[in-house]
Structure 1
Amino acid sequence: MQWLNELSADWARQGMSVQPGCTAHELQRWEQHGIRLPQEFRRYFAQANGMDPFTATGTDKRGFYFYALSELQFYPQVVDFALEPPVPALAGKKCLLFADYMHKSWWYGLLFAGAAYSVIEIAAPNTYAVVADSFREFVHLYLADADELYSARATRP
């Protein structure tokens, strides 16, 4: 999986520690939350269990922080609604947050629609946008520091 190796190498170039991957048992135990993780996402967690939160800044050089398996949360659990109102278009939908940008200025998550999913960016005020059709595509955009990752401007149903 070249894209996963490229991600690990990018983090190493930035001085980020990659946490050791999860076991199949850990992934299965997490899936008892009632959601089957997409295969690409499972491969990612088998190789790298997110960023080490104990780096100097807690993020990579661009301000991204990828969560460990134990830090994954469903939207809206992680959002402080005193600061950010919930996104109405996401009400009743399954959205699993896996990363944030600039210390939770906005989040990235998997938005599930049955067995399919897309990667979305949730940004203030009250908006989200689809940024990728797969986690692998998201990683490619991340590695390229693509503008699409910073583009949530309007709600997309």
Structure 2
Amino acid sequence: MVDNIQVSINRLLENWIKQGFGIFPATIEKIEKTQREKEVFLPEDFVKLYTVVNGMRTHYPDDMDEEGFFFYSVEQLIPCAGELKVPLTTELDDVLIFAEYMHKSWWYGFKAQNGRNAYTIGLILDKDSFKPITDSLSEFIQFYLEDSPRLYPQ
């Protein structure tokens, strides 16, 4: 039986193919190497995502989707401190950014928790904010595909 994350990743893949994006999966070896080099932990759902589609390219026409979203490749994942380049609140210390909106108007990151697949995905507007959206990459992808208001500041 296919789990929800795989169904969601397949729907994401179909959406990106319709938009003409190149699809470039990452190998498990590349993902593990990135985790070691960046000293980060990726929950299983994110590993599954990157083995199917390793984000978007950083050059036109694959530099963002029709709505202005850009999903990072595994190599582009960056801690909040590295992206925002300012001292952070402790709430953002362990957040890893995996997507952005409209050329860094804001970001989406996840904070891994105790379990192998326990994490919270949130909206990051600045150095002082992490607004939780969901605890599921599958649900985040669903929100993204539906252009849900939950993905936008309110």
Q: Deviations over 1:94-127 (max 9, x none)?
A: 1110000010010001112333310011014842
Task: Tell me if 1:99 matches 2:99.
Answer: yes
Aligned equivalent of 2:89: 88
Alignment of 1:122-133 (within 5 A): 122-124=124-126, 126-133=128-135
CA displacement at 1:41 relative to structure 2? 0.4
Q: TM-score, normalised by structure 2?
A: 0.85
Q: Deviations over 1:45-92 (max 9, x none)?
A: 0000101222237210111000011111011101254xxxx552525x
Alignment of 1:31-110 (within 5 A): 31-32=35-36, 33-56=38-61, 58-81=63-86, 87-91=88-92, 93-110=93-110
Q: Percent identity?
A: 29
Detail structure 1 runs of 4+ shifted over 3 Å in the superposition.
none
**Are the aligned partners of 2:8 and 2:141 in contact in 1 as well (CA < 8 Å)?**
yes
- Rounded to whole Å, the distance in 1 between the matches of 2:42 and 2:127 is 28
Higher strand share: 1
**Are the aligned partners of 2:42 and 2:112 in contact in 1 as well (CA < 8 Å)?**
no
Given residue 26 of structure 2, which amino acid in structure 1 is its aligned partner? C
- SS of 2:41's equivalent in the other structure is coil
**Are the aligned partners of 1:96 and 1:109 in contact in 2 as well (CA < 8 Å)?**
yes
Aligned equivalent of 2:26: 22
Give the number of aligned pairs: 146
**Are the aligned partners of 1:17 and 1:55 in contact in 2 as well (CA < 8 Å)?**
no
- SS of 2:119's equivalent in the other structure is strand
- SS of 1:100's equivalent in the other structure is strand
Aligned equivalent of 2:111: 111
Q: TM-score, normalised by structure 1?
A: 0.83
- SS of 1:16's equivalent in the other structure is coil
**Are the aligned partners of 1:87 and 1:127 in contact in 2 as well (CA < 8 Å)?**
no
Q: Deviations over 1:3-37 (max 9, x none)?
A: 1111011112222222x111111111122133331
- Rounded to whole Å, the distance in 2 between the matches of 1:94 and 1:4 is 25
